[in-house]
């Protein structure tokens, strides 16, 4: 058991109240959720985990914890995101957690670009070209991304040293499709398989 898990286990959380308190106090379910969220944040801090997330990434994390249409609409109105963009960010969190959202935002131009080591990128690009069709044009690199324009696939090297697989979307964007991996070839194959499954 990790230090973080031990701390989370030791933080007392009361059972859900049987009845909602009188208005305007939040409902019992909301109070329970707020208490649990606060406890998990405290556990992260006590375990010297990552510092609190940026506001948008944090909002995506909260949405991943609960199915709340009102909260989703509030995030859309506050950020100006389209519902499809918000859905993709939620998917990115599902696969890659906060770092997955960070990489996704970087792809969308909403976070500073992540520039990876040139040798690392070139080596990964060569590895991917070796497993692709010889008739295809070589992949290209862009900052932390390796892009297959012909197949509309991309893998991005995150700040955690893992490769995040994406497939192109109809509107010219990118969608996270699988969990990240330390192996660029495996990430590329994951993106390729996800595209194949989506299109049958």
* Domain extent at residue 56: 3-107
The answer, yes or no, to whether residue 133 has pLDDT greater than 80, is no
pLDDT in tens, 188-200: 999 999 998 876 5
Enter the tokens of residue 39.
């406890």
More confident call, 28 vs 125: 125
Based on the domain organization, do 100 and 141 belong to the same domain?
no
End residue of a domain, out of 49, 81, 107 = 107
What are the φ/ψ torsions at residue 190 (nearest 5 degrees)? -65, -45
Q: What is the total count of domains within the chain?
A: 2
**Residue 10 belongs to a domain:** yes
The answer, yes or no, to whether residue 118 has pLDDT greater than 60, is yes
**Residue 172 belongs to a domain:** yes
Selection from 32, 177, 13, 28 nearest residue 95 by Cα: 177
* Residue percentage of the chain with pLDDT more than 70: 69
Based on the domain organization, do 124 and 79 belong to the same domain?
no
pLDDT in tens, 78-102: 778 888 888 899 999 999 998 999 9
The answer, yes or no, to whether residue 20 has pLDDT greater than 80, is no
CB–CB of 156/145 below 8 Å? yes
Instruction: State the pTM of this model.
Output: 0.70
Which pLDDT belongs to residue 110?
A: 64
Where does the pLDDT of residue 4 fall: very low under 50, low under 70, confident under 90, or very high at 90 and above? very low
**Residue 41 belongs to a domain:** yes
Based on the domain organization, do 71 and 124 belong to the same domain?
no
**Residue 112 belongs to a domain:** no
**Residue 39 belongs to a domain:** yes
CA distances from 60 to 91, 138, 140, 163, 199 (A): 9, 35, 30, 21, 28
End residue of a domain, out of 47, 80, 107 = 107
End residue of a domain, out of 77, 107, 137 = 107
The answer, yes or no, to whether residue 137 has pLDDT greater than 90, is no
- Give residue 136's region: left, alpha or beta (phi > 0; psi -120 to 50): beta
Which pLDDT belongs to residue 64?
A: 76
More confident call, 161 vs 5: 161
Based on the domain organization, do 24 and 81 belong to the same domain?
yes
- 8-17, 52-61, 159-168: range with lowest mean pLDDT: 8-17
**Residue 130 belongs to a domain:** yes
Based on the domain organization, do 163 and 194 belong to the same domain?
yes
For tokens 């070839």, the residue is 185
Most confident of 66-70, 77-81, 127-131: 127-131
Based on the domain organization, do 75 and 133 belong to the same domain?
no
The answer, yes or no, to whether residue 177 has pLDDT greater than 60, is yes
Which pLDDT belongs to residue 77?
A: 81
Give, for 89, the enclosing helix (H) or strand (E).
Answer: helix 83-107
Which pLDDT belongs to residue 31?
A: 64
């Amino acid at each position: 058991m990790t230090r973080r898990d031990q701390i989370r286990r030791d933080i007392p959380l009361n059972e859900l109240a049987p009845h909602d308190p009188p208005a305007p106090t939040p409902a019992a379910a909301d109070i329970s959720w707020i208490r649990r969220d606060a406890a998990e944040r405290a556990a992260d801090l006590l375990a010297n985990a990552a510092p609190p997330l940026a506001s948008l990434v944090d909002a995506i994390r909260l949405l991943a914890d609960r199915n709340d249409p009102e909260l989703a609409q509030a995030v859309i109105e506050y950020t100006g995101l389209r519902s499809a963009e918000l859905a993709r960010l939620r998917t990115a969190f599902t696969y890659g957690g906060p770092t997955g959202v960070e990489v996704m935002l970087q792809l969308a131009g909403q976070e500073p670009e992540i520039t990876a080591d040139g040798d690392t990128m070139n080596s990964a690009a060569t590895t991917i070209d070796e497993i692709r069709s010889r008739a295809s044009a070589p992949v290209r690199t862009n900052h932390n991304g390796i892009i297959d324009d012909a197949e509309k696939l991309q893998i991005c090297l995150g700040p955690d040293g893992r490769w995040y697989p994406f497939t192109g979307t109809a509107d010219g964007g990118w969608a996270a499709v699988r969990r990240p991996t330390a192996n660029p070839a495996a990430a590329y194959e994951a993106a390729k398989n996800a595209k194949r499954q989506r299109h049958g």
